[in-house]
Structure 1
Amino acid sequence: MLIVDDGSSDRTAEIAGRTVRDGERPVHFVRLPLNSGIGVTVQTGYLFANSRGGYEYVIQCDADGQHDPADIPHLVAECRRRNLDLCIGSRFLAGDGDGYQSTFSRRLGIRFFVRLIGILSGARVTDPTSGFRCAGPRVWRRFAHRYPEDYPEPESLFWCVRNGLTVGEVPVRMRPRAGGMSSIVYLHTLYYMTKVSLAILVDRLRVKDF
């Protein structure tokens, strides 16, 4: 397990350090010197896995309490069962509606990217903004060297399907955020949708990496 602290100003470093010292299982902790954003933070995890070696899958899990670590074996099992390169934990496949109801603007953005990715690639995904993921070697080794800086989930997902990698989803329950604040709020939603859409459209024009 790896905890990446993105230059936080709260007690994250203190609590994570105590977890590393007192945890029953091996826990590693990396603290970035300043707040660098989600893309750099996630890529730090992939770089860690790539530098140490010996890993089959790399799990991305947010630290705000929305993701249940008990679902991790389901993501790994689906990757193995279907030989997936990337498995996404989707809140929209649980069979009970959306589970935790995120904001209207967030749901609007999710639906938009479902349509955009579907039109440009033919891939059918239900939760392209989910940060709960299991990445196989062909994905995480590439992401260790190149990963989007801002709002990376839809863009990195599109890169996978554009390059012919196998992507799937499993149902998971999303819980209310236990701490922190989403960066996608109010007018930021329009900026988010515009920026990520342009990034996806530009990526669509690139030569395939595989």
Structure 2
Amino acid sequence: MDAKNKNDFTDTWLVVPCYNEGTVIREVLENALQTFPNIVAVNDGSPDNSAAEIHAAGAHLVNHPVNLGQGAAIQTGIEYARAQPGAKYFVTFDADGQHQVKDVVTMVERLRKEPLDIIVGTRFGRPRKETDQVPLIKRIVLRTVVLLSPKTRKLGLTDAHNGLRVFNQKVAQELNIRMNGMSHASEIVDQIAQKGWRISEEPVDILYTEYSMSKGQSLLNGVNILADGFLARRLP
């Protein structure tokens, strides 16, 4: 992407939670920085070299002294990004290379033009043959989450646990993630419903590599996410 197009996204901040991603985080960030010049990566107490690799890539670095969980890392990153002058759009973006910059571009441009507050990615917005990229066990977990979540169904979401989200200042200011672990995704859905944010989905491509799959959610972890999600809805 040329410099002119890069400058078009100076009002956009990518928030990248990171835990033990030292082998890939630098490449992920350097690739994203070619399009999005403003990225904050939150090193969530990683014992590996993640912090050094984030710094070397040229992204903004925020360190948690101990591991607090992905939800806490995202909240920290959003708070950092929303405090920056000129920040209008915010993106949650995974550190393991699964998310695609081209999808972020599409989602940000939609948010600029459409009367929406938040757009979330979906792995299930295209014909079935194109969603076969999603491993079977993950499809089962994700479909189960939707089936067991009335708010997810009411909002018309098909992939509530997709970590790729783009949202505006209103959402960035009002979002308050209290579930520190992976169950933050269910909590975000609850807040979307409660606060009445205008939402839509965008079909996205998820790059499943041997590395990213080794860090993925098992069926048991999916059940834990559901349990934590119910707990999130009971919080005052």
Q: Which residue in 2 is equivalent to 1:4?
A: 42
AA paired with 1:91? R
Contact kept in structure 1, 2:146 and 2:153, CA below 8 Å = no
For structure 2, list consecutive stretches of 5 or more residues without a partner in the other structure. 1-38
Residue 195 (structure 2) pairs with residue 195 (structure 1): no
AA paired with 1:168? S
Instruction: Output one character per residue of 1:127-184: Cα deviation in whole Å (capped at 9) or x when no partner.
Output: 10000010111211122x4443222112212211232111111111001146364463
Q: Which residue in 2 is equivalent to 1:23?
A: none
Q: Which residue in 2 is equivalent to 1:83?
A: 115
Contact kept in structure 2, 1:6 and 1:32, CA below 8 Å = yes
Distance apart, 1:38 and its partner CA:
0.3
Q: Select 2:135's aligned residue among 97, 102, 113.
A: 102
CA distance in 2, matches of 1:74, 1:120: 23
Worse overlay, 113-122 or 70-79: 113-122
AA paired with 2:162? S
CA distance in 1, matches of 2:91, 2:200: 14
SS at match of 1:179: helix
Q: TM-score, with normalisation over the residues of structure 2?
A: 0.73
Describe the shift of the 1:162–1:199 C-alpha distance in structure 2 as closer, same or farther (beyond 3 A).
same
Q: Which residue in 2 is equivalent to 1:131?
A: 163
Q: Which has the higher contact order (CA 8 A, sep 6+)?
A: 1
Describe the shift of the 1:2–1:92 C-alpha distance in structure 2 as closer, same or farther (beyond 3 A).
same
Distance apart, 1:76 and its partner CA:
0.9
CA distance in 1, matches of 2:170, 2:217: 29
Worse overlay, 146-155 or 63-72: 146-155
Instruction: Map residues 14-163 of structure 1 onto 2, 5 A cutoff.
Output: 14-20=52-58, 27-95=59-127, 96-104=129-137, 106-118=138-150, 122-143=154-175, 145-150=176-181, 151-163=183-195
Describe the shift of the 1:29–1:179 C-alpha distance in structure 2 as closer, same or farther (beyond 3 A).
farther
SS at match of 2:124: coil
SS at match of 1:89: strand
Q: Name the Cα RMSD after superposition.
A: 2.3
CA distance in 1, matches of 2:153, 2:195: 10
SS at match of 2:130: coil
SS at match of 1:94: coil
Contact kept in structure 1, 2:123 and 2:159, CA below 8 Å = yes
Describe the shift of the 1:103–1:65 C-alpha distance in structure 2 as closer, same or farther (beyond 3 A).
farther
SS at match of 1:92: coil
Distance apart, 1:13 and its partner CA:
1.6
Aligned residues: 195
CA distance in 1, matches of 2:178, 2:111: 21
Contact kept in structure 1, 2:122 and 2:158, CA below 8 Å = yes
CA distance in 1, matches of 2:209, 2:41: 18
AA paired with 1:149? N
SS at match of 1:31: strand
AA paired with 2:221? H
Worse overlay, 123-132 or 46-55: 46-55
CA distance in 1, matches of 2:132, 2:98: 11
Instruction: Output one character per residue of 1:74-126: Cα deviation in whole Å (capped at 9) or x when no partner.
Output: 1112222322111011111133432522351x323321232344467621111
Identity over aligned residues, as a percent?
Answer: 25
Distance apart, 1:71 and its partner CA:
1.4
Contact kept in structure 2, 1:86 and 1:167, CA below 8 Å = yes
Contact kept in structure 1, 2:146 and 2:159, CA below 8 Å = yes
